Structure 1
Amino acid sequence: MLPIRVGLIDKTGTVNPQELTTVAAALNLQVNRDFGPIWGVSATVSALVGTNDAPPGVWPIFIVSNLPPTEGGVHLTKHHQPYALVEAGPSWSLSGSHECLEMLADPSGSRLYASNAIAVEGGNIIDVPGKFEYLIEVCDPSENDPFSYLIDGVVVSDFYTPHFFDPKASTGVRYSFTGALTRPRQVLKGGYISWLNSETDTLQQLQYFTTTPVIKDLGPAASGKSLRESVDALTRPLKLSGFIASPLVTQRRDAIARAASSRSRYYESVKRTGNSRD
């Protein structure tokens, strides 16, 4: 399998090169350790520092200053090659992770998978007779900040596994990487899920943006755009780049930084003395 190459490119001139490199390393680890084995994807993620260009063969994730709500997410070039746009902000790594994983899971932006139809009854999401063709957007149902996790102090997105589309829930099955999703077709607060309703030939979406989930009819897919681009243009999800780190995340980051500093001092002492305590 030929590996996919993903590159983080800062268009704003405000992201510190060290931060860009650190986030790229975390995403690279997430893709190879967490995501790739589950979804059968082989890819690398690297930081492209000091350039506004995308080298041939690289799927770019551009960090930009301002992003209108309808222009975020993964897009296709005129040659149908994927790229993503992420808005700079305190938690841009969460948004970058989100778009990276969704681009790798579905480069075309139109991959569908048929599974049980759903409805909202009494504020709960339930299965109903019939089938929907769900758009493969692996991070959307649990995209909110509380369901993210840390890799070397970098906040990255949770994502669902292929079991998310199982007909029924089973014990001992992982529905998302962190375990935040506990059953098929579950959507957590702040998340959403989209599908093509074959009976009406329209895009529909279950949104959990307020106190209870609701289902909205988005209408037909836009001509000349991928299904994901059509959905993103009609959706107002959370601004993932704008989260301020929670106290728990800050504590974890500080602990990782202290551990890294301690290890660095130890290796410096080994370098000077040539002795090891091991």
Structure 2
Amino acid sequence: MFQISIVNRTLTISDLELHRVVRAVNRQVADDFAPYWGFGGRLRVEGPAGESLDAQAARELRGDAILYLLDSATSADALGYHARTLRGIPYGFVYLDLCAKLGDAWSATLSHEALELIADPQCNLLVQGPHPRGPALPQVYHYFEVCDAVQSHLYDIDGVTVSNFVLPSYFAPDDASEGRRDFSGTNLRSFDVNPGGYIGFFDPNLAGGGGAATFFADARSEQRYAIKSRAASGQRDCPFGRVMRRAGTQATPQATPGTEAQMG
């Protein structure tokens, strides 16, 4: 079973509270995520090793991946949002100040990052599908993300706020209008995006290798993305994983009809 080590390096989250959140996310993975996707994982709280973290050494790792909780995204220790170390170990961060600025519950961010770390090694990174800007355009390759399209839709488990996620049917042709494409049933359609969310894609039809792009559901989702980009602007050598590798690509805000977003 894929295991993620959770390391608390904040000054504000108690270990008791962290264990409560981790139990809820573990229940989400086992009871909600795994039955649909056919694979899962488990989060395990580990104690910090040393006064500062070393993501390349990952001394706290007791599994296959590692997630750090930090008070600030400006920490000199911060290497990325979620990516891999030089040793090939997947890792990620939950920054409390960035969560507050985005209006997100840190537990939802932890849930989001954990689900994507679990999904990454199991799935194709690109899935062919319709162009987000219109069905008349040639098909593109969508990045395989399980939370981004519904990132503003949340739900509770045992009083803990966790992230909604898409189902495998999201990456299939939308030939059944009554079909469910995400766990919370928000009327999301295949390869579409809910209010507050965004999707990344690669257009192989563009010459010169400039085909990477991001499609935003609305101005709110574009603003959230910009906040994350600014948070990483002082760390050009260590950008925020896949999210920031796509920064600077052309994106088109467009309102998408559907269920109203539940903001964290």
Normalising TM by the smaller chain, what interval? Answer: 0.7 to 0.9
Displacement of 1:211: 6.7
Displacement of 1:230: 4.6
**Mind listing any 5+ residue stretches in structure 1 that lack a counterpart?**
120-125, 214-221, 236-247, 251-278
Displacement of 1:171: 3.7
Partner residue, 1:130: 138
Displacement of 1:170: 0.9
Q: 2:221 & 2:243 partners in 1: Cα distance?
A: 25
Displacement of 1:109: 9.8
Q: Quick one: which of 93, 96, 99 aligns to 2:113?
A: 99
Checking the alignment, whether the CA contact within 8 Å between 1:109 and 1:229 is kept in structure 2 is: no
Matches within 5 A, 1:208-223: 208-210=217-219
**TM-score, normalising length from structure 1?**
0.69
Checking the alignment, whether the CA contact within 8 Å between 1:6 and 1:59 is kept in structure 2 is: yes
Structure number having the greater strand percentage: 1
Partner residue, 1:151: 157
Displacement of 1:152: 0.4
Q: Quick one: which of 14, 32, 35 aligns to 1:16?
A: 14
Q: Could you say which structure has the larger radius of gyration?
A: 1
Q: 2:39 & 2:82 partners in 1: Cα distance?
A: 17
Q: Cα gap change, 1:54/1:127 in structure 2, threshold over 3 Å: closer, same or farther?
A: farther
Q: 1:46 & 1:29 partners in 2: Cα distance?
A: 12
Partner residue, 2:32: 34
2:94 is equivalent to residue 80 of structure 1: no
Q: Cα gap change, 1:108/1:83 in structure 2, threshold over 3 Å: closer, same or farther?
A: farther
* Root mean square deviation of aligned Cα: 3.5
Partner residue, 1:207: 216
Displacement of 1:74: 1.1
Letter of the structure 1 residue corresponding to residue 196 of structure 2: G
Cα offsets for 1:178-216 (capped at 9, x unmatched): 012431122122210001111123211101341798xxx
**TM-score, normalising length from structure 2?**
0.72
Q: Cα gap change, 1:206/1:54 in structure 2, threshold over 3 Å: closer, same or farther?
A: same
Partner residue, 1:113: 127
Moved over 4 A (4+): 49-53, 224-227, 232-235
Partner residue, 2:70: 64
Q: How many pairs were matched up?
A: 221
Q: 1:191 & 1:249 partners in 2: Cα distance?
A: 11
**Mind listing any 5+ residue stretches in structure 2 that lack a counterpart?**
51-58, 223-235, 250-261
